[in-house]
Amino acid sequence: MILDRSIPLCVYNAAGVPERIEGDDRKIVRAGRVITYSIATENKVTLQELCDMGCDVKQVVMTWGDSPGAQNLLFKGLQQSGMQLLARALRDEFLARRFHAITWFAIGLTVQNLIDLKPDFETVRVFKIDVPQLVKHGAPELGPNFQMHVNWSDEQWRQLGFESSKYTASVDANPAWTAQQKRHRRQWGPRAFS
Tens of pLDDT along 130-153? Answer: 999 999 999 999 999 999 999 999
Answer yes or no: is 115 within a domain: no
Residues 96, 138, single domain; the answer is no
Burial 152-189 (b: 16+ CB within 10 A, else e): beeeebeebebebeebeeebeeeeeeeeeeeebbbebb
Answer yes or no: is 185 within a domain: yes
Nearest to 78 by CA among 120, 110, 41: 110
Three-state DSSP at 183 gives helix
Residues 20, 68, single domain; the answer is yes
Tell me the C-alpha to C-alpha distance, in Å, between residue 184 and each of 112, 138, 148, 174.
18, 13, 14, 13
pLDDT at position 185 is 93
Nearest to 123 by CA among 160, 169, 158: 160
pLDDT at position 191 is 74
Residues 45, 5, single domain; the answer is yes
Nearest to 51 by CA among 11, 20, 22, 91: 11
Residues 63, 96, single domain; the answer is yes
Structural domain boundaries enclosing 145 = 130-194
Angle between the N-to-C axes of helices 164-172 and 179-186, in degrees from 0 to 180, rounded to the nearest 10: 170
Contacting residues for 140 by C-beta, under 8 A, at least 6 apart: 134, 146, 171, 185, 188
> How many domains are contained in the chain?
2
Nearest to 124 by CA among 92, 89, 84, 154: 84
Answer yes or no: is 116 within a domain: no
Low-confidence ranges of the chain (pLDDT < 50): 1-2, 192, 194
Residues 69, 21, single domain; the answer is yes
pLDDT at position 25 is 95
Residues 82, 148, single domain; the answer is no
State how far the Cα of 80 lies from the Cα of 86, in Å rounded to an integer: 10
Residues 65, 152, single domain; the answer is no
Residues 3, 97, single domain; the answer is yes
DSSP state of 7: S
Residues 63, 11, single domain; the answer is yes
Answer yes or no: is 113 within a domain: no
Residues 24, 80, single domain; the answer is yes
- Report the number of secondary-structure helices (H) and strands (E) in the chain: 13, 2
Residues 85, 139, single domain; the answer is no
18 preceded by a cis bond (ω within 30 of 0)? no
Give the ranges where the chain is alpha helix by DSSP (H). 23-30, 37-42, 47-52, 57-64, 80-90, 93-98, 111-117, 121-126, 131-136, 144-150, 154-159, 164-172, 179-186
pLDDT at position 6 is 87
Residues 70, 23, single domain; the answer is yes
pLDDT at position 3 is 59
Single residue among 74, 99, 127 that ends a domain in this structure = 127
Is 93 within 8 Å of 122 (Cβ atoms)?
no
pLDDT at position 4 is 72
